[in-house]
């Protein structure tokens, strides 16, 4: 095939693709706040959530962040959040990873305090986006009643986006979510003996 034929064929293919895409978009008319879940064993669950949070901040939206497991954050994220002091509310409730505290009763109390803060944010429709970071971990350990969490999330204001992160998302949460992404690990530097480092790993 000549270069010209190749180009013409390509243009035709792209015209069809564009038309198909526009047709799909035209059928999507419901605008609403989404319940988004980032789960899976791979990297990027919280990082992608922060990407959404930063984007929302760029749009001037008010956002809330509840950290259910302390120690999971990189200081770099705080520096960026601090650029938007009037738009962000951050609640850091965890007392550390569970393998650090080794104290189940204290972990349960921390989870409850974090969840109470989260419920308050969810009830306030002025928040356009709320990140419940590592909530899945807390649910997996059974530190909060799943039913209460599911009911609260189902009743969130229509315009509020809520993002839940962490491995092992509960089926009941996936069931009610609008958008679920599994970050699947294909290759990890730990296998090659590379140390966790500032700016990429926490």
142-161: which residues touch a second copy (CB under 8 A)? 161
Phi, psi of 35 (to 5 degrees): -100, 115
- Please report, for residues 38, 41, 42, 49, 98, the alpha-carbon distance to residue 187 in angstroms, rounded to integers and kept in the order given: 18, 11, 9, 21, 26
Does 196 help bind a second copy (rule: CB under 8 A)? yes
Does 125 help bind a second copy (rule: CB under 8 A)? no
Question: Closer CB to a second copy, residue 101 or residue 152?
Answer: 101
Q: What stretch of H or E contains 39?
A: strand 35-39
Binders of a second copy in range 164-183 (CB under 8 A): 174, 177-183
Q: Contact region for a second copy (CB under 8 A) — 55-63, 112-120, 130-138, 149-157?
A: 55-63
SS3 state of residue 121? helix
Question: Closer CB to a second copy, residue 71 or residue 116?
Answer: 71
Residue of the chain from 47, 120, 124, 172 that contacts a second copy (CB under 8 A):
47
- Supply the DSSP string of 50-61, one letter for each residue: HHHHHHHHHTT-
Q: Output DSSP code: residue 154.
A: H
Q: Which structure tokens are listed for 21? A: 């895409």
Q: Contact region for a second copy (CB under 8 A) — 58-66, 111-119, 132-140, 144-152?
A: 58-66
Does 15 help bind a second copy (rule: CB under 8 A)? yes
CA distance 20 to 49: 30
Count of C-beta atoms within a 10 Å radius of residue 83? 10
Number of chain positions touching a second copy (CB under 8 A): 83
Q: Contact region for a second copy (CB under 8 A) — 70-78, 86-94, 111-119, 150-158?
A: 70-78
Residue of the chain from 21, 71, 148, 168 that contacts a second copy (CB under 8 A):
21
Residues 6+ apart with CB under 8 A from 152: 118, 119, 122
Question: Closer CB to a second copy, residue 155 or residue 186?
Answer: 186
Q: Which structure tokens are listed for 97? A: 């990873």
Q: Contact region for a second copy (CB under 8 A) — 64-72, 109-117, 144-152, 191-199?
A: 191-199
């Amino acid at each position: 095939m000549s270069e010209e034929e190749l180009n013409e064929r390509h243009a035709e293919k792209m015209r069809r693709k564009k038309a198909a895409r526009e047709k799909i978009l035209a059928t999507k008319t419901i605008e609403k706040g989404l319940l988004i879940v980032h789960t899976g064993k791979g990297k990027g669950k919280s990082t992608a959530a922060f990407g959404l949070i930063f984007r929302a901040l760029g749009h001037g939206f008010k956002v809330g962040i509840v950290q259910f497991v302390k120690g999971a954050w990189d200081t770099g994220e705080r520096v960026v959040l601090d650029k938007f002091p009037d738009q962000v509310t951050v609640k850091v409730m965890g007392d550390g990873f569970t393998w650090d505290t080794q104290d189940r009763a204290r972990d349960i109390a921390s989870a409850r305090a974090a969840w109470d803060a989260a419920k308050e944010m969810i009830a306030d429709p002025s928040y356009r986006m709320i990140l419940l970071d590592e909530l899945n971990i807390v649910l997996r350990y059974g530190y909060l009643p799943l039913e209460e969490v599911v009911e609260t999330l189902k009743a969130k204001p229509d315009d509020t986006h809520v993002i839940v992160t962490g491995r092992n998302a509960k089926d009941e949460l996936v069931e009610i979510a609008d958008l679920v992404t599994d970050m699947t690990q294909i290759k990890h530097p730990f296998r090659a003996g590379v140390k966790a480092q500032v700016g990429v790993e926490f």
